[in-house]
Structure 1
Amino acid sequence: MKNIKELKLAHLAMCVAGALVLPVHANVSEQVQDVDSEASGKLERVEVIGSRQAYQGNFSPLETPQSELNIDSEALQNAGAVDLTQALDLSASVARQNNFGGLWNSFAVRGFVGDENLPSNYLVNGFNAGRGFGGTRDLSGIESVEVLKGPRAALFGRGEPGGTINLVTKRANFNEKAEVSLSVGSFNTARADLDINTAISDDVAIRLVGFYEDAESFRDTVETTKQGLSPSILWNISDESQLTYELEYSHQEIPFDRGVIAIDKELGVIPESRFLGEPGYGPIETDVLGHQIEFQQDINDNWSALVGFNYRDTSLEGLASENGFSAPDEDGNFGRFSRYRDYNAIYQVFRAELSGNFETGALSHKLIVGIDADKFENDQFALRDRSTDQSINIFAPVYGQYPESSLDLASNIDRIETQKSAGLYIQDQISLTEKLDIRIGARFDDYQQKLVNRGSESVSEYAKSKISPQLGVVYKASDALSFYVAYGENFRPLSGATDENDLAPNQSESAEIGVKFALNDGALSGTIAIFDVKQSNIATFDADFNATAIGEAASKGVELDLTGELTDTFSLRISYSYVDAETKNDYTDAISYNFIPAGSDLLNVAKNQLSLQMVQQAEFAGRELDLIAGLVYVGERSGGFGDPSFKLPEYTTVRIASSYEITNSLTLRAEVNNLFDEEHYTNSYSDTWVQPGTPRSFRISATYSF
């Protein structure tokens, strides 16, 4: 195994070395580049286009009447984050959720999670992209992660009530860069990253970002392989026009792992490393192929137009043995079942937007108006075997007792659901005075759902229209302090809705008040927010066990985000949240079939959560040395739907790292995660589906820049 990994890394290093012999062009700035005409023989060229994101407009943090947290590339690098889950640990407003055996990202913002049968949705440069089956999101091609809290349906459309996650990608630009990073770590983990950005003319730049990772795990027999590429092209058609194209490709092989089980509600009876599946069934394979293209036109100094299209094709396929829901017998024999899945999804999104500034009398306006449309095809086929005894002894597991050939797989799921939506949105932020702004916005959505059950040869359809309003007020007390209040509504169509069951969309209302501040001459900024979210029309069952939407839940709490520099050499990030999230009425959960009494805590949502990161810059032998420390605290939380007695214990993990600049081109980094080797459990779905956290681990990496 080790020799194979060394050969793979050597092969990748040779490919990287070959790529780096490409000609490197002179540095060109995105904004203004002066070229010495005598030395280069070229005319001076001025570039004025700057990349913009749809739905966001041009607002400073202090004039935005909602809480937002930007996790930039430096913060991600300091945290050693290589996937989206690790990045979101830097926001205390985000809680880990059931991740489908490690096959996708699932999270709750301010206590609320989306459809448990699908990954949590996230945006990529403003495009819906998270829904689908492409595996966990790697951060190789990601520049920053934005946690946009509160409802955003007035602009983004259907979404989750707690907030939205937006990923900003590493796009081609005119700043020359060539960088390769190699790392090795605990559990025979080996990884390589590549990032090459270059201008091939005065008007065209290209960028190639890629990664390869091969790793074992602290989980017995669990091994993963991941690889991906994210090339992009930027074409400055003119001083006012810009075209950007990005491709996303990834392939992952990940064993399906439902985690460990609790014995009589007690965790730790079996070790965190104990894998209860069948290694011989092999990994689940996931694939992504996506295309994103955007055209931006600056009309004049005040107005800009943006048109974009996104197409993302994802798939998940493989056989797995899964933990059952019954407790093991007195000898430790634990029941399992097997399931084969072949899931495919296609997501298409189109948008066109106009944004700009204008005045009416003494009032100044910042306007965003646009249209968009999306189509999501969710094709699921699954076979399941529950007819034979597939038990395993949790104290002395013996693998390979139930070969694939002995399974009696019967039809489980065979359907395709298509959701279409078209929307029109408008937002106007009006400056009534130099200090007082109001924000008014609304969105109209018309959506349709069609469910084709191939097993029963039935077709069901559903259609609905929805208006989502928003209102915000910002008072800028000074250049360093502002106060805001905000109200918004949100909705999310429920999967499986038909004209017969009339599953009305999941609806939410959210209100928050907050204060934003900038200290230390703007070097340190933060937000304190108080929020109250009410959610209704949660999918459930009525007394006759018919599908309905009568579930209600609520979340309220306080958040603090503080980030920036205390001194020229010491930076700090603090994120804290207190979230009280619970059900508001009795109902039967539509996924677990458990009875949920009113007042039950929402799954995996801790009342108290804290993320802390500190960086001290120093010098050693005349070179930069960064000393990094981080901490994540997660309080006690509910561990099972409809089972208030089962709790996941609180935990605190500490990480330390050091980064040292050996030369102008070479940087070494060493890090230790979970420094005190704390036994912890990050999320669960029931007492037989509990995900243990990684014990103490090490990683060493080298980054070479050209």
Structure 2
Amino acid sequence: MKKVYFSFSFILCLLACAPLLAQTPGSIKGLVTTRDGNPAAFVNVSLKETRKGTVTSEEGTYLLKGIHPGSYTLQVTFVGLQTQEKSVTVNAGQTTTIDFALAESAYQLSEVEVTGNNQVVTLGKAGIAPLDIPQMTGVVNNVVITNQQASRLGDVLKNVSGVSLTQQRGGVAETFSARGYSIGIAGAGGSIFKNGVISNTMGFPEASTLESVEVLKGSSALLYGNTSGGLIINMVTKKPKFNFGGEASMRIGSFGLYKPIIDVYGPIARNLAFRVVGTYEKSNSYRDVVKTERVYVNPSLLYKLGQKTTILLQGDYLKSNLTPDNGIGSLNQNQDAIIPDVPRSRFINTNWAYNHVDQTSGSVNVDHAFNANWKLNVIASAQATKISAYGAGVPNNNVAANGDWTRALSRTGTSEDDYTGQVNLNGKFNTGFVGHQVLVGGDIVGIVSVSNSYTINYGEGRTSYDKINILNPNLYEARTDIPDAIVTTKTTSPSVRNGFYVQDLISLSDKFKLLAGIRWSQQKTVQTTIRNLQTQAETRGTAETKTDAAFSPKVALMYQPTRNTSIFGSYSNNFTINTGLDIYGQVLKPSIIDQFEVGVKNELFGGKIRANLGIYHIVNSNLAQMAPFRADGTPNTDANVKEFTGQTTSDGLEIDFTGNLSKNLYFITGYGYNYMRYTNASPVKGSPIEGERLTNNPAHTANGTIFYTFDLPQLRGLKVGASAFYTGNRFGGNNNTYGQTPAFSRLIPLNGFTTLDLSAGYTYRKVSLLAKVSNLTNTLNYLIHDRYSIMPIPPRQFMATLSYRF
């Protein structure tokens, strides 16, 4: 009777549970390959009848989970390609395998992947799809970099809306601006990365050999800690491939430019592949005396340790010998800085001036997939940068109105060592009907900067090098000898920053998603050590070791009425480390900067058109400035004594409209508006002038690029393209301060300008020739650093690249 009872009960359970079992979700997996059998990475795979979709991995594989049993249409889309569809039946609790073979080769696929819209922005760490990132982003693909024949990072970033090149520091480095905030070379608060780790960009990174450049606009403190509130930049280098190939190019251009570029990749063993990218560049310049000679090599190895683990080793070496160049200087007239009326080529440094940069970096990146839902990423990297420079100092407000300038010399010997460790755990899971895409991680960055001080022997009885006239170089005879410079002290400045973060992308339903996360960051600036190199005695710097800590939250709500549209609103913040003391002698705390952003992202016509709009409001309500009075009420004359007074407010919008209508045509357009100014300025507290725009922030920027490749039999292989870039009105120089003495404006107003580039090329089988005329209208304008480095933009130039692909 017991056996009959249990058997009967078991049958009843089966009958009761059968409807539930029948509804157990199934899965679809598969492989997408190109015509030549290579994996097709970053291809969109989705179910036509639902909102479920994914992107293929670098190995071309995909997995769709949580699909209710039934019949569906599975489609594969890629920007610029025709959509492929296959019927599929999903059974309860089972995984169905569906493979696709694209009609294009791997080379053709890379040609049409021009905007990067199919790629997840790797700088985001969490592998989130572009529509699920609640902030404006930009990706410039290698095809765009190649078609525009870009060599510098500034050439690439002109293609990102709202981003502008605002300064060239002494002709040896670039500064970029977005949303009112600037980022420069590097440092503990650096915002420029290479393959996701902090990078020193002194001497100009080699952009022509990059796979892509990624930009996250707005605050990214949640992921990276003390970074700019305007943008962070990630340079992605080319990775090894398991099929043999490559390309050899020769680039020539105006002012004696010649630049060979080589790129070779292929397998070493079944699980081991390599890639070596390198270039040599030598040229003169539109600036008199200025010369460039550079060598760059980027080797890498990719090892597949089984099916779930990959190890990527990357290194690069840059040797950059440049002529330091502070531009044409400025005239000091009644304390106003005036741009001199001189030829664009006028050079005012010594004719022997030099700037030598040697930079070496190495990294290891380990990816391990525990299963389809949980992945671990570990990164370790190191970078060493050494700089040796000598030449005239900056003409900082010491050039007379008649052009006379008494030149002093500046000798530089510095080094910077950067170390990074990073661990990221990504996971996907469900709690009931709610989906989660989680990121948990931590990072640590150590930076050790070393700078040397020198005494310069100008000669008996001399306190300066010589006198020149920047308006009339023939007025005085310039010295040509190189005085001895003796190193006297070495200052070592270490700093460490670390942080821990957690982020969750929560799918509340098919239409609503919530992104929430928080980071705790700590930054320690260690007291400097100063060594006298004559006596070897060591002393400590005046600023004691300082430790700052801050929480950086982020929360965003997304409404996606269709699978191709996302409307988002977000709040996030970042922080800036303040130097100096308050009026009571206490170390200043970090300033917290709040950012609010709303926007809409669209992927139209199967991803062929992307239309994005973002609006932001950023407020630094705790702006640290020089205190007008000390605690006892007496006037303060020490710039290191500060207080939190006034604020800065940045409002603006960004628009992206890009597309790849076919394999033959793509376009990139963008527009940015920014109003970054001082607000709540109280004269009593010594705040800056109310409403004054901050320097080096254009009110308007715009970019547009279009390329078309003919496919008609009589014109097949012919390519034409055009690019236009606009930088609006802005101020150079320095912002004013309340009660400044003398009471002359420190701003240098600059008009907006547009440059136009035209390109044409022809490809026959494996050989291609591409030519470009840049700044076709020969527009003249300037990039200004502070009040001294006034650099004319390049004039009309010609460039051509001959390439052979194998």
1:266 is displaced (CA, Å) by: 4.8
Tell which deviates more after alignment, 491-500 or 216-225.
491-500
Residues 641-683 of structure 1 show CA distances to partners (whole Å, capped at 9, x for unaligned) of: 034652122111000001210x211000110000011112133
Counterpart-to-counterpart distance in 1, 2:422 and 2:165? 31
Residues 418-439 of structure 1 show CA distances to partners (whole Å, capped at 9, x for unaligned) of: 1112211100010111110000
Tell which deviates more after alignment, 614-623 or 472-481.
614-623
Counterpart-to-counterpart distance in 2, 1:52 and 1:292? 20
- Tell me which of 143, 146, 169 is aligned to 1:74: 143
CA contact (8 A) 1:559 1:578 kept: yes
1:328 is displaced (CA, Å) by: 3.7
Establish whether residue 479 from structure 1 lines up as the match of residue 479 from structure 2. no
Residues 319-340 of structure 1 show CA distances to partners (whole Å, capped at 9, x for unaligned) of: 1113322364454312332110
Establish whether residue 355 from structure 1 lines up as the match of residue 437 from structure 2. no
- Structure showing greater radius of gyration is 2
Counterpart-to-counterpart distance in 2, 1:51 and 1:645? 41
Counterpart-to-counterpart distance in 2, 1:625 and 1:83? 26
CA contact (8 A) 1:528 1:560 kept: yes
The equivalences for 1:150-169 within 5 A come to: 150-169=218-237
Partner of 1:442: 518
Counterpart-to-counterpart distance in 2, 1:650 and 1:705? 40
- Tell me which of 716, 739, 761 is aligned to 1:659: 761
- Tell me which of 286, 294, 314 is aligned to 2:365: 294
CA contact (8 A) 2:142 2:211 kept: yes
1:52 is displaced (CA, Å) by: 9.5
Residues 265-292 of structure 1 show CA distances to partners (whole Å, capped at 9, x for unaligned) of: 55461111100100123x1100111011
CA contact (8 A) 2:186 2:192 kept: no
- Tell me which of 322, 325, 331 is aligned to 1:257: 325
Partner of 1:39: none
Residues 223-247 of structure 1 show CA distances to partners (whole Å, capped at 9, x for unaligned) of: 0101110000000011111000000
- Structure 2 CA distance for partners of 1:83 and 1:612, relative to 1, 3 Å: same
- Structure 2 CA distance for partners of 1:447 and 1:577, relative to 1, 3 Å: same
The equivalences for 1:35-50 within 5 A come to: none
SS in 2 for 1:230: strand
CA contact (8 A) 2:762 2:770 kept: yes
Counterpart-to-counterpart distance in 2, 1:539 and 1:141? 41
The one-letter code matched in structure 1 to 2:783 is T
Residues 49-79 of structure 1 show CA distances to partners (whole Å, capped at 9, x for unaligned) of: x999474323222122111111111122222
CA contact (8 A) 1:337 1:384 kept: no
1:395 is displaced (CA, Å) by: 2.5
The one-letter code matched in structure 2 to 1:73 is N
1:28 is displaced (CA, Å) by: 5.5
Establish whether residue 468 from structure 1 lines up as the match of residue 552 from structure 2. yes
Counterpart-to-counterpart distance in 1, 2:385 and 2:168? 17
- Tell me which of 762, 784, 803 is aligned to 1:683: 784
Tell which deviates more after alignment, 438-447 or 327-336.
327-336
TM-score, L = length of structure 2: 0.77
Counterpart-to-counterpart distance in 2, 1:437 and 1:274? 57
Partner of 1:457: 539
Partner of 1:637: 730
The equivalences for 1:182-197 within 5 A come to: 182-197=250-265
Establish whether residue 692 from structure 1 lines up as the match of residue 784 from structure 2. no
Partner of 2:77: none
1:528 is displaced (CA, Å) by: 0.3
SS in 2 for 1:426: strand
Tell which deviates more after alignment, 320-329 or 158-167.
320-329
Counterpart-to-counterpart distance in 2, 1:665 and 1:293? 34
In structure 1, the gaps of 5 or more residues are 1-25, 35-49, 589-593
- Structure 2 CA distance for partners of 1:567 and 1:307, relative to 1, 3 Å: closer
Counterpart-to-counterpart distance in 1, 2:494 and 2:585? 17
Counterpart-to-counterpart distance in 2, 1:391 and 1:623? 60
Establish whether residue 502 from structure 1 lines up as the match of residue 587 from structure 2. yes
Counterpart-to-counterpart distance in 2, 1:638 and 1:134? 24
Residues 430-464 of structure 1 show CA distances to partners (whole Å, capped at 9, x for unaligned) of: 01111100000001112211131517922420112
- Tell me which of 31, 54, 59 is aligned to 1:31: 59
1:416 is displaced (CA, Å) by: 2.2
- Structure 2 CA distance for partners of 1:115 and 1:248, relative to 1, 3 Å: closer
Tell which deviates more after alignment, 141-150 or 359-368.
141-150
The equivalences for 1:254-653 within 5 A come to: 254-263=322-331, 266-267=338-339, 269-281=341-353, 283-326=354-397, 328-329=399-400, 331-383=402-454, 387-388=463-464, 390-397=466-473, 401-406=478-483, 414-454=490-530, 457-459=539-541, 460-494=544-578, 502-535=587-620, 537-538=622-623, 540-543=625-628, 544=636, 545-547=638-640, 548=642, 550=644, 552-566=647-661, 569-584=664-679, 596-619=688-711, 621=714, 623-642=716-735, 643=745, 645-653=747-755
Counterpart-to-counterpart distance in 2, 1:542 and 1:497? 10
Counterpart-to-counterpart distance in 2, 1:566 and 1:54? 27
Tell which deviates more after alignment, 145-154 or 442-451.
442-451
Establish whether residue 61 from structure 1 lines up as the match of residue 130 from structure 2. yes
TM-score, L = length of structure 1: 0.87
The one-letter code matched in structure 1 to 2:59 is Q
1:356 is displaced (CA, Å) by: 1.3
Counterpart-to-counterpart distance in 2, 1:382 and 1:439? 49
RMSD, aligned CA: 2.8
Q: Determine what percentage of the aligned residue pairs are the same residue.
A: 24
Counterpart-to-counterpart distance in 1, 2:693 and 2:278? 41
SS in 2 for 1:300: coil
CA contact (8 A) 1:444 1:467 kept: yes
1:121 is displaced (CA, Å) by: 2.9
Q: What is the aligned residue count?
A: 655
SS in 2 for 1:484: strand
